[in-house]
Amino acid sequence: MPRLSPRLFDPITVGGLTVPHRLWVAPMCQYSSVDGMPGEWHLVHLGSFAIGRAGLIMTEAAAVSPIGRITPDDAGIWNDDHTAGWRRVVDFVHGMDGLIGIQLSHAGRKASTYPPTRGRGSVPASEGGWTTVGPSAVAWGPFTPPVELDREGIARIVAEFGDAAARSVEAGFDLVEIHAAHGYLLGQFLSPTSNLRTDEYGGDVAGRSRIVREVVEAVRARVPSEMPVVLRVSASEWVPGGVTVDDTIAALHLIDGVDLVSVSSGGNNPDQAIPSGPGYQQPLSRAVRAAIDAPVGVAGLITTPEQAEAALGAEDTDVVYVARQFLREPTFALRAAAALGGELAWPWQYNRAKYVESIP
């Protein structure tokens, strides 16, 4: 059987960073931190993807402040101890010739919630919860309504993103991603269903995207010019009156300083009707890719090497993010290379277990 010439294993340059291939690990919350600290779990969890030769590994959402955590068990990067904790992970990944990026996040009105092991809903102060903030005092479904941010509060959060970016550089990360998707704070500002403001941070697309522009500018100012800055967006809210892909494209045209756009969807409204299925987000990434100058990435139930390769071949994306399949199979990139005819060097310690051409 003739071998393909897979695009999945072509290198890609994003900003000043060349990544050896286009199969990347998507950010996935682990709910395994104490006071925001990455620990042994993160070292082994993320390190396994480096052993498996993922093109680039993304951390879970790392909160830029204590009240920016989704749950009390979330990771963070708001102090110097966190910087040192992440440095251990980064050093291991680099020691395996891998690349790693950090996702900077603030959960806004979706913060102070229970981790999956403890149920759902808002965590009260008596159990370690806190007062949440948002663009408007509009709750996400059954969660406790947030306090509407004033201009001083917005400026503080913008500065916290900048400080977190500086710590990310100190920790040695290769890339920073700004999380403006899945109904977290920046995504809340982008949506007319959660942002009811009438000042300069609300109203039309230009107003609703103002804080995102300011965050990108603050992050860009605190990282080296060659370091890629990625923006993750929910391109569709999947509810009537919510964000559409056209709104997302309009916002992206107003935002400077982004080297790659990671396209996702949903998360800002419990009434969302997501047409879930393999590749369900690729029509969104295809539309965004056609409308902007920067490369794009996409995730969404991509579980086989052939799916990943087809997404690139269809011009839907420039990078394929994979989440659950990497959890099932940390060496997914090695298997994909064997299946598609790509070239990846195995860790020498694993050479005796190399995938062979007889893989089904």
Task: For residue 355, tell me if it sits in a domain.
Answer: no
Task: For residue 87, tell me if it sits in a domain.
Answer: no
* pLDDT in the model for residue 27: 98
Residue 353: exposed, middle, or buried by beta-carbon count in 10 A (0-12, 13-18, 19+)? exposed
Q: H helices within 52-130, ranges in order?
A: 80-95
Give the other-Cβ count within 10 Å of 359's Cβ: 10
The angle, 0 to 180 degrees and rounded to 10, between the axes of the packed helices 282-291 and 245-252 is: 40
Alpha carbons 78 and 75: distance in angstroms, whole number: 10
Residue 146 belongs to domain spanning: 7-23+122-350
- Both tokens of residue 280? 């369900």
Alpha carbons 217 and 211: distance in angstroms, whole number: 10
| Residuewise pLDDT in 10s, the chain (360 residues) | 334 569 999 999 999 999 999 999 999 999 999 999 999 999 999 999 999 999 999 999 999 999 999 999 999 999 999 999 999 999 999 999 999 999 999 999 999 999 998 889 999 999 999 999 999 999 999 999 999 999 999 999 999 999 999 999 999 999 999 999 999 999 999 999 999 999 999 999 999 999 999 999 999 999 999 999 999 999 999 999 999 999 999 999 999 999 999 999 999 999 999 998 999 999 999 999 999 999 999 999 999 999 999 999 999 999 999 999 999 999 999 999 999 999 899 999 999 998 875 444
Task: For residue 144, tell me if it sits in a domain.
Answer: yes
In the chain, the amino acid numbered 52 is G
Please tell me the total count of domains within the chain: 1
Would you say how long the chain is, in residues? 360
Task: For residue 230, tell me if it sits in a domain.
Answer: yes
* pLDDT in the model for residue 1: 34
* pLDDT in the model for residue 189: 98
* pLDDT in the model for residue 233: 98
* pLDDT in the model for residue 358: 46
pLDDT digits (tens, 9 = 90+) for 48-98: 999 999 999 999 999 999 999 999 999 999 999 999 999 999 999 999 999
* pLDDT in the model for residue 276: 87
Own/partner contacts of 306-314, CB < 8 Å, gap of 24 or more, are 306/339, 306/340, 307/278, 307/279, 308/8, 308/23, 308/336, 309/4, 309/6, 309/7, 309/8, 309/340, 310/279, 311/279, 311/282, 312/7, 312/8, 312/22, 313/7, 314/282, 314/286
* pLDDT in the model for residue 251: 98
Do β-strands 17-19 and 57-63 pair in parallel, antiparallel, or remain unpaired? unpaired
Task: For residue 312, tell me if it sits in a domain.
Answer: yes
Task: For residue 133, tell me if it sits in a domain.
Answer: yes
Query: Where residue 341 sits, what CATH number does that domain have?
Result: 3.20.20.70
* pLDDT in the model for residue 4: 52
pLDDT digits (tens, 9 = 90+) for 168-204: 999 999 999 999 999 999 999 999 999 999 999 999 9
Instruction: Show which residues are catalytic.
Output: 184
Task: For residue 255, tell me if it sits in a domain.
Answer: yes
Helix (H, G, I), strand (E, B) or coil at 319: strand
Task: For residue 176, tell me if it sits in a domain.
Answer: yes
Residue 337: exposed, middle, or buried by beta-carbon count in 10 A (0-12, 13-18, 19+)? buried
